[in-house]
Amino acid sequence: MADQPTLAAPPNPYGAVQRVVAIAATVGIAAAIVALIDGIVLMVKRKVTECPDGHFFPEGTKNFDCYAHPRLAEGLAISALAVTLAALLLIAALASLAALKPRGETSAADPVRPV
């Protein structure tokens, strides 16, 4: 086994670019997560409003308040946009990292190639 020559991986001239892509993707995903949290908070905020005429309250009700979610649509839109942005960012980052990977480089996930 010691007699077999080992193949050295060629130098990667795109190493710095790959790091920049990974950092940009991480920052973008973090921003999308913050936007998702913000959208969810907007959706769940509610305020007490006047109940409409004829509103039915079941027996045993102790709280006769009616609530409205005035920012539900905006929160839903921000959340949907954040999830879409995160998915697109992840796809773009993975595609660019795959394009920058040198052809001779192998990783642990690659199948063993016969010499």
pLDDT, one tens digit per residue, over 66-82 is 888 899 999 999 999 99
The verdict on pTM exceeding 0.75 is no
Number of helices (H), then strands (E), belonging to the chain: the values are 2, 2
Residues of the chain with pLDDT under 70: 1-13, 103-115
The C-alpha atoms of residue 52 and residue 64 are separated, in whole angstroms, by 12
**Domain assignments of the chain as residue spans, ordered by start:** 19-53+64-100
Tokens of residue 26, six digits: 């991480």
